[in-house]
Amino acid sequence: MENQETAQLASPNIEPQVGQPELTVTDLTNLRAIVDVAVRRGAFGAAELSAVGSTFDKLNAFVNAVTPPAEQAPKE
């Protein structure tokens, strides 16, 4: 695995970021989807599911709180 990490760090496609790290609501929404897919595919063991579920619930609540509700189309 160390060789893979070294290869990834040496990749010319990875640009170092300057300044403050940035994490957007879109990033968090994507992370929520990634966790959901990983759980459905069995990526976590039974003993890990409580921690994963708890973290997912917190992430889901945060994303829902900071995401404006979708506008509903006017009824005709």
Domain spans of the chain, in order of start: 23-66
The count of C-alpha atoms lying within 13 angstroms of the C-alpha of 67, restricted to the half-sphere facing its C-beta, is 15
pLDDT at 8: 45
> Tens place of pLDDT for every residue, the chain, 76 residues?
444 444 444 445 666 567 888 999 999 999 999 999 999 999 999 999 999 999 999 999 999 999 888 776 666 6
pLDDT at 7: 43
The 3-state DSSP class for residue 19 equals: coil
